[in-house]
Amino acid sequence: MYSLIINEIFYSIQGESLSSGLPTVFIRLTGCPLRCQYCDTAYAFNEGTKKDFNQIINEVKSFNCNNITITGGEPLSQKNIIKLLTLLHELSFNVSIETSNAISIKGLDVRTVIVLDIKTPGSKEESKNLIDNYRYLKPNDQIKFVICNLSDYEWAKAYIYKYDLYRICTVLFSPSHDEMNIKTLAENILKDNIPVRLQTQLHKVIWSNERGR
C-alpha cells in the first residue's frame, strides 16, 4: 500500500485560482525544498503524519465534496503523489494541484489541473524556476505570480511575454499579502492592459490567517 506524509486534510472554500469560491477538500503534503520569504505555510515544512492511500481516501470521502486540491509545502516533493492523483481521478474527483515550479510537472495525470506558481525575484526563490515546465502546461491549467512589489510586477509582466505564457493558459497575478497593495496592482494591470487575471486570497478575506482554512 502506497503512503504519503500528510500535514493536514481539511474542508474549506477555495481561495485562489479559477476555482475560487468553490467548496474544496485540501490535502496538504509535508515538505518543501523552497523557502519563499512570504511563506504562510512554514508549518508544513516538517510537521506531518504518514498515511496510506486508504486512510487518505476515507478522510477525503468523509467531507462529501467532489473538488480536491493538492497543496503543500511542495506536493511534488513526495513522488507517490503521482499515484494518488491517478487514484483520485479513477474515483471521479475533480483534482487540482498547486505547485511551485521548482519540480518537473512532466508525467502528471493529464486530468489534473495544474496551478503553477512561478517564483518572482521578490519571493527570493526565483532561481528555482524550471523553464522546461512551461511546455507541459495544458490550456485548462493556470500560471500564478505572487507579486511582492512594483518591481515584481514589472518583472512578471515582461516574463509572460518572454515565454508567451498568456498564450498557454490563464495567467493569475496575486498580491503578496501584507506586501503589495491590491488597488495598486489592479491599477497597473489596467494601465498596461496586460492579459492577466487579478486575484486575491479569498480565504484570507474570510478567515484571515486561520490555520486549516
Is residue 32 at the binding interface for ligand SF4, with CB under 6 A as the rule?
yes
CB of 119 to ligand SF4, least distance (A): 7
Strand (E) or helix (H) holding 52: strand 49-52
Q: Residue 8, interface with ligand SF4 (CB under 6 A)?
A: no
Closest CA to 81 of 128, 30, 22, 36: 30
Comparing CB distances to ligand SF4, the nearer of 32 and 172 is: 32
Q: Quote helix, strand, coil % in the chain, to nearest 5.
A: 35, 25, 40
Give the whole-angstrom CA distance, residue 140 versus residue 147. 22
Window contacting ligand SF4 (CB under 6 A); options: 31-39, 53-61, 133-141, 190-198:
31-39
CB of 158 to ligand SF4, least distance (A): 22
Q: Which residue has the cell 479559477?
A: 18
Report the residue number, 100 or 201, with the smaller CB distance to ligand SF4: 100
Which residues sit opposite 70 in a β-bridge?
Answer: 27, 97
- Note whether 147 and 174 are within 8 A (CB): yes
Do 157 and 192 touch, CB atoms closer than 8 A? yes
Binding part of the chain for ligand SF4, among 30-38, 152-160, 165-173, 184-192 by CB under 6 A, reads 30-38
| 67-71 and 94-99 beta bridge pairing | parallel
34 binds ligand SF4 (CB under 6 A): yes
Shortest distance (Å) from residue 98 CB to ligand SF4: 8
Could you tell me the smallest distance in angstroms from the CB atom of residue 77 to ligand SF4? 9
For 74, the grid coordinates are 511542495
d(C-alpha 81, C-alpha 5), whole Å: 10
Residues between 94 and 113 that touch ligand SF4 (CB under 6 A): 100
Angle, vertex CA 135, rays to CA 130 and CA 139, nearest 5: 120
Residue closer to ligand SF4 (CB basis): 10 or 86: 10
36, 105, 148, 160: residue in contact with ligand SF4 (rule CB under 6 A): 36
**19, 41, 66, 86: which one contacts ligand SF4 (CB under 6 A)?**
41
**Alpha carbons 160 and 101: distance in angstroms, whole number:** 15
Binding mask 57-86 for ligand SF4 (x = CB under 6 A): ---------------xxx------------
Interface with ligand SF4 (CB under 6 A): 32, 34-36, 39, 41, 72-74, 100
